[in-house]
Structure 1
Amino acid sequence: MSVSHLQDLLAASVDRHGDRTAIVGADESMTYGELDGAVNRIAHVLLSHGLTPGARVGVLAEKSPWTIAALIGTLRAGGAYVPVDPAGPASRVARIVGAAEPEVVLVDAASRPLLDEVLAELPEPPVVGALDAQEEVAFSRGDLLVAPTDAPGAAPTDLAHLLFTSGSTGVPKGVMITHDTVLAFVDWAVRHFGTAAGDRVSGHPPLHFDLSTFDIYATLSAGAELHLVPPSLGIDPRGTAAFIRDRALTQWFSVPSVLTYLARFEAVAQDDFPALERLLWCGEVLPTPVLAHWMRKLPHVRFTNLYGPTEATIASSYHDVPEVPADETVPVPIGRACDGEELRVLDEAMAPVPAGEVGDLWIGGAGLSPGYWRDPEKTAAAFRPDASGERLYRTGDLARVDDAGVVHFLGRADSQVKSRGYRIELGEIEAALATVPGIRECAVVGVDTGGFEGTTICCAYSVAEGHVLPATDVRRQVGALVPKYMVPARWAEMDDLPHNVNGKIDRPALREHFAPVGAATGGR
């Protein structure tokens, strides 16, 4: 059958692999036929509720086969889904739901208390559909129906989902992702990695993280098995290793901090994971010594670095590492553009810089998002045409191209950092800090302290006269406003923050303050 929308990937695989296992969760699994039936049921109920073409459907639920059915069911009903972090603070979830304006929010029982907090903050709360309980709109796991025939048609360029990332003003940004951008990457990835029906693929990232899009739709495209990794394994390196081993996974895909964590705790034995064929990472820099450690432990595995921001849909470049790096002080390249993508290293005038010189990294091609949800100003600033009129996205990263045409990532050019695989605007954390009573001045910086999490988020603050603010109190109050991964790990209360000659907070000096002894810091 012709595949022009993401939900078509499931429909095509049902025809070929109806009795094969599609998704394996913590305590349940679904075959392709069962998943298709669950998707149909959800689509029918959404349509009977009156879901309008292109409407957003929020999905606030823990990662499970039924939750993934809700995502695809939304697409089959002609809507676009908005996955929301069920571990997020209510205030941030409310900002996301308020910005997306979904007609319906689908919620599981575990996330219902959080949604109740969110609904209390919204002037016009959406209708709530319960994924596993009797609520305003109920979804039964029985009586699965045939595919709906009244779902409105959607163009491949229509919105498939909204992914909210950290925003510098304290308001999360909604990145619009269309069907065709995901399909372009999935088509390349399935061919490049040889994903097939016999594969058992990890589903490690949370569903609001764009890397999960690759896990879900590449697996469905190939008729493979998606094994959902429980969030609790994020702090259990030996449990994570046992999961890979016991599930006989053939592909593992995660952020580098997970790989670093497993290496640091020696959780992987020599020649471990005999079924594993491919190990992929994306989202931040994997230290070369950690990669070398893994490659020596697993000589039978193929290792690939993927690179790309959410705005360019999952990943835009790849680098297959051919052998154990001879020099572990040299970072791993981000490589070459995936089919249909384009990486350019440009100067301030958007002209190409010579090979070997540092410039701003821009991305063009099939994966580009239409932009930010209801924010034409931010969209115009980030997505710009070159001299020929081709639309490009400025990543905010610095890079260089070597003589062989391979691209090397050199770090961030702004205040955005990557930590534990998440892209974080330090300004959003500072905006939360500014709401804490008694804070006189504050600054948040990212420092490479050698930790497994990648960039360590550090906060310095001073206290107004008459106030007492221990770091534990500030941390608690900030933790109520931002997700856990955005709460600074290191804190320093100062009488006065350092300032430069222009009167601005001296952030390089703060990075030096937080840096490990003997470590060098860089950036602006």
Structure 2
Amino acid sequence: MIRNILEYLERSESRYPDKTAFADEGASCTYAELKMRARAVGTCLAQKVSPRMPVPVLMEKSVNAIYSFMGAVYGGCFYVLLDPKLPSQRLRQILDTLKARVLVADLKYKKQLDGLGFEGVVIDIEEALKTQEAPVLLEQIRSQRLDIDPLYANFTSGSTGIPKGVVVSHRSVIDFMEDFTQIFGITDRDVIGNQAPFDFDVSVKDIYSTLKTGAAMQIIPKKLFSFPTKLLDYLVEREVTTLIWAVSALCIITTLKGFEYKVPSKVDKVIFSGEVMPVKHLNEWRRYLPDARYANVYGPTEITCNCTYYKIDREFQPGENLPIGQPFPNEKVFLLDEEDRLVTEPSKKGEICVSGTALSLGYYNDPRQTKAAFMQNPLNGQYLEPIYRTGDLGYYGEDGYLYFASRKDYQIKHMGHRIELGEIETALERVEGMRRGCCIYDEEKNKIVAFYEGELEKRQIVKSLGTALPAFMVPNVFIKMDRLPITNNGKIDRKGLKTQYKEGLHG
């Protein structure tokens, strides 16, 4: 039985010591080099901090970041990526929550580091890599580790304005990865093209699929996602086979007609998540890469990456909803109505709830928010069964699969009607000539606002929507954009759109 994710690294190192494990734009490492350097960093950390403590890592996604992550684990701790490009205020909030004693940094970001006011010990990653390994110390730490110990923390937005640190254990990652790699057929022959930032849990699937199977992972520079031709060159040159990407990242290529320039023909697995995948864009991918396998996966950070999956097994038409599918093994996914009653009948909506070993350990240093989101299953009065309430609304289709409807907080009350903005966005997708659409609600003026990519004018859109939606659901304001803004995590930046709209930056 695997109890620590380091066993993934060590098993792959014993099988493929000289094989490339991770590579970024300017560096790479073999499995043997990764193990050796991670143990050096682990020794450095173990001499300075107690086990089970957080180790913030201030650097961009890179091979050095992987050394830092695995080093933190060898040192008995858990890691937290701090993106140097994030605003200093947010990074300070994260550090205030962590109360960390050490911080590992790439000192080319010394200016950002100096602005954080960190009072603990700062470790230069380059110096840490030179540390002489202490095998006895590392083994002593390893013998005391439990599979329920923390592995990493990712910080998500908090309703209070303070980021929440979702802490995930070794056991949760192991239980998820054992099934994830088997279900999608990821093996040592794969080259995984990493799109996600390392402070976003999509990257967890990239990193641990690689370590578990002995695959290789190519870390794609973030800047390439602004230049589709360069991005496609990178995928082809690095012989990438597997994309585990956010929906918006896939849509960048199709929106800018990247496949007319080049098709990355070795890609045979495309797994997407984070938002509803527009069928027009999915069909474009399938047109150029018809032999690849495609899957829609769903789940919030709090339940370790994903809790449901659906392998695309038929053609879908624009405007059709893709299922989010069926639960992964070891996870129970169900719907509760507003009175906490189980929802099973088709088409009836309920809040998506999850229990099982993939549940995270809660929010770091935040018992109040943890208690609010993680609670006893109201359907089980016999024994302790924690569940996570996702805040997402879903429903079962006639096919028995689960479907995502919308966020509970995308549900608005407009002109006396309860409306889900996700339903309007689905209707926008059906409009001929519409590339992508997103809706927000202006509560002060009682207006639904639609932002969209495409050459259409308001009159054309209204006419088309009028055939699909009741008049009270047709947006009142339409704002054309060259490209919808996306967050660091690859999702449409709804909060940014709302801010720009309120500030009158769209007229």
TM class by smaller structure: 0.7 to 0.9
Alignment pair present for 1:308 and 2:292: no
Who is 1:18 aligned against?
A: 17
SS of the aligned residue for 2:57 comes to: strand
Check the 8 A contact 1:295/1:324 in 2, yes or no. Answer: no
Check the 8 A contact 2:229/2:261 in 1, yes or no. Answer: no
- The structural deviation recorded for 1:446 is 9.7
Match of 2:264 among 273, 287, 310: 273
Who is 2:479 aligned against?
A: none
Taking structure 1 as reference, are residues 21 and 347 closer, same or farther at Cα in structure 2, changes over 3 Å only? same
SS of the aligned residue for 1:289 comes to: helix
Tell me how far apart the structure 2 counterparts of residues 104 and 445 of structure 1 sit (CA, whole Å).
49
Count the aligned residue pairs: 438
Who is 2:228 aligned against?
A: 237
SS of the aligned residue for 2:259 comes to: coil
Tell me how far apart the structure 2 counterparts of residues 307 and 370 of structure 1 sit (CA, whole Å).
19
Tell me how far apart the structure 1 counterparts of residues 41 and 445 of structure 2 sit (CA, whole Å).
46
Deviates more, 1:193-202 or 1:140-149: 140-149
Check the 8 A contact 2:205/2:244 in 1, yes or no. Answer: no
Q: Note the residue ranges of structure 2 that are not aligned, 5 or more in a row.
A: 412-420, 423-439, 455-486
SS of the aligned residue for 1:15 comes to: helix
Alignment pair present for 1:139 and 2:140: no
Who is 1:467 aligned against?
A: none
Taking structure 1 as reference, are residues 3 and 52 closer, same or farther at Cα in structure 2, changes over 3 Å only? same
- The structural deviation recorded for 1:330 is 0.5
Equivalent runs, 1:313-462 vs 2, <5 Å: 313-325=304-316, 327-353=317-343, 354-386=345-377, 387-388=379-380, 389-414=384-409, 449-451=451-453
Tell me how far apart the structure 1 counterparts of residues 348 and 257 of structure 2 sit (CA, whole Å).
38
Tell me how far apart the structure 2 counterparts of residues 247 and 390 of structure 1 sit (CA, whole Å).
45
Match of 2:68 among 54, 57, 70: 70
SS of the aligned residue for 2:225 comes to: helix
Taking structure 1 as reference, are residues 494 and 246 closer, same or farther at Cα in structure 2, changes over 3 Å only? closer
Who is 2:209 aligned against?
A: 218
**CA deviation map 1:264-283 (0-9, x unaligned):** 11101499222111011111
Check the 8 A contact 2:229/2:262 in 1, yes or no. Answer: no
Equivalent runs, 1:133-212 vs 2, <5 Å: 138-141=127-130, 148-152=138-142, 153-212=144-203
Partner amino acid for 1:140?
L
Check the 8 A contact 1:82/1:100 in 2, yes or no. Answer: no
**CA deviation map 1:76-107 (0-9, x unaligned):** 11111111122101111001011011121001
Who is 2:416 aligned against?
A: none
**CA deviation map 1:489-508 (0-9, x unaligned):** 4624689xxxxxxxxxxxxx
Check the 8 A contact 1:177/1:369 in 2, yes or no. Answer: yes
SS of the aligned residue for 2:41 comes to: helix
Tell me how far apart the structure 1 counterparts of residues 45 and 199 of structure 2 sit (CA, whole Å).
21
SS of the aligned residue for 1:380 comes to: helix
SS of the aligned residue for 2:329 comes to: coil
- The structural deviation recorded for 1:450 is 3.4
Tell me how far apart the structure 2 counterparts of residues 445 and 304 of structure 1 sit (CA, whole Å).
35
Tell me how far apart the structure 1 counterparts of residues 348 and 237 of structure 2 sit (CA, whole Å).
47
Check the 8 A contact 2:295/2:309 in 1, yes or no. Answer: yes
- The structural deviation recorded for 1:160 is 1.1
Partner amino acid for 1:398?
L
Tell me how far apart the structure 1 counterparts of residues 225 and 257 of structure 2 sit (CA, whole Å).
15
Who is 1:437 aligned against?
A: none
Tell me how far apart the structure 1 counterparts of residues 500 and 46 of structure 2 sit (CA, whole Å).
50
Tell me how far apart the structure 1 counterparts of residues 84 and 273 of structure 2 sit (CA, whole Å).
23
Tell me how far apart the structure 2 counterparts of residues 145 and 444 of structure 1 sit (CA, whole Å).
64
- The structural deviation recorded for 1:359 is 1.2
Match of 1:491 among 477, 493, 500: 500
Partner amino acid for 1:139?
A
Tell me how far apart the structure 2 counterparts of residues 334 and 484 of structure 1 sit (CA, whole Å).
19
Taking structure 1 as reference, are residues 514 and 362 closer, same or farther at Cα in structure 2, changes over 3 Å only? farther
Check the 8 A contact 2:43/2:132 in 1, yes or no. Answer: no
Taking structure 1 as reference, are residues 443 and 485 closer, same or farther at Cα in structure 2, changes over 3 Å only? farther
Deviates more, 1:58-67 or 1:409-418: 409-418
SS of the aligned residue for 1:290 comes to: helix
Who is 2:274 aligned against?
A: 283
TM-score by length of 1: 0.78
Check the 8 A contact 1:399/1:408 in 2, yes or no. Answer: yes
- The structural deviation recorded for 1:442 is 9.2
Alignment pair present for 1:47 and 2:46: yes
Q: Note the residue ranges of structure 1 that are not aligned, 5 or more in a row.
A: 133-137, 419-425, 427-440, 453-478, 496-512, 516-524
SS of the aligned residue for 2:162 comes to: coil
Tell me how far apart the structure 2 counterparts of residues 127 and 446 of structure 1 sit (CA, whole Å).
50
Taking structure 1 as reference, are residues 301 and 188 closer, same or farther at Cα in structure 2, changes over 3 Å only? same
Tell me how far apart the structure 2 counterparts of residues 80 and 446 of structure 1 sit (CA, whole Å).
43
Partner amino acid for 1:344?
F
Partner amino acid for 2:352?
L
Check the 8 A contact 2:173/2:304 in 1, yes or no. Answer: yes
SS of the aligned residue for 1:373 comes to: coil
SS of the aligned residue for 2:314 comes to: coil
Taking structure 1 as reference, are residues 128 and 180 closer, same or farther at Cα in structure 2, changes over 3 Å only? same
Tell me how far apart the structure 1 counterparts of residues 310 and 450 of structure 2 sit (CA, whole Å).
23
Tell me how far apart the structure 1 counterparts of residues 66 and 55 of structure 2 sit (CA, whole Å).
13
Identity, % of aligned positions: 28
Who is 2:124 aligned against?
A: 130
Alignment pair present for 1:299 and 2:290: yes
Tell me how far apart the structure 1 counterparts of residues 197 and 394 of structure 2 sit (CA, whole Å).
28
SS of the aligned residue for 2:287 comes to: helix
Tell me how far apart the structure 2 counterparts of residues 129 and 443 of structure 1 sit (CA, whole Å).
52
**CA deviation map 1:109-130 (0-9, x unaligned):** 23221111001xx5xx111001
Tell me how far apart the structure 2 counterparts of residues 230 and 265 of structure 1 sit (CA, whole Å).
18
Taking structure 1 as reference, are residues 3 and 412 closer, same or farther at Cα in structure 2, changes over 3 Å only? same
Tell me how far apart the structure 1 counterparts of residues 130 and 185 of structure 2 sit (CA, whole Å).
34
Partner amino acid for 1:102?
A
**CA deviation map 1:147-181 (0-9, x unaligned):** 83332521101111111100111100111111111
Alignment pair present for 1:87 and 2:95: no
Tell me how far apart the structure 2 counterparts of residues 364 and 300 of structure 1 sit (CA, whole Å).
35
Taking structure 1 as reference, are residues 144 and 226 closer, same or farther at Cα in structure 2, changes over 3 Å only? farther
TM-score by length of 2: 0.80
